[in-house]
């Protein structure tokens, strides 16, 4: 399993976080999601999922995101 962290722009409430959570869980290969509203991140446990597929799932909910790489992003 791989852990991928996404930065999510625009989440402002628990309902926003739930939409993102549900969208990411709907991606084939994703086995777990933890959305942190305060930090504006989603940690995804997945296997064999392309970063673009995760970003697209978030985009479909109306929010922008990008995969965090390294310590400083």
> Is 59 inside a domain boundary?
yes
- Give residue 36's pLDDT band: very low, low, confident or very high (50, 70, 90): very high
Residue by residue, DSSP assigns 11-61 as: --SHHHHHHHHHHHHTSTTEEEEEEETTTTEEEEEESS--HHHHHHHHHTT
Average pLDDT over residues 12-16: 96
For position 47, what pLDDT does the model report? 95
Q: Answer yes or no: is 73 within a domain.
A: no
- Interatomic CA distance for residues 28 and 10, integer angstroms: 24
In this prediction the pTM is 0.91
**Mean pLDDT taken over the chain:** 94
How does residue 69 score in pLDDT terms, banded at 50, 70 and 90?
Answer: confident
pLDDT value, residue 68: 87
The pLDDT score that the predictor gives to residue 73 is 46
CATH number for position 7: 3.30.70.100
The residue segments making up the domain with residue 7 are 2-67
């Amino acid at each position: 399993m791989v852990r991928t962290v996404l930065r999510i722009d625009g989440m402002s409430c628990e309902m926003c976080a739930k939409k993102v959570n549900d969208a990411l869980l709907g991606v084939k290969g994703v086995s777990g999601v933890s959305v942190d509203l305060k930090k504006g991140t989603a940690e995804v446990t997945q296997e064999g999922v392309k970063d673009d597929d995760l970003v697209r799932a978030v985009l479909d909910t109306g929010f922008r995101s990008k995969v965090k790489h390294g310590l400083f992003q």
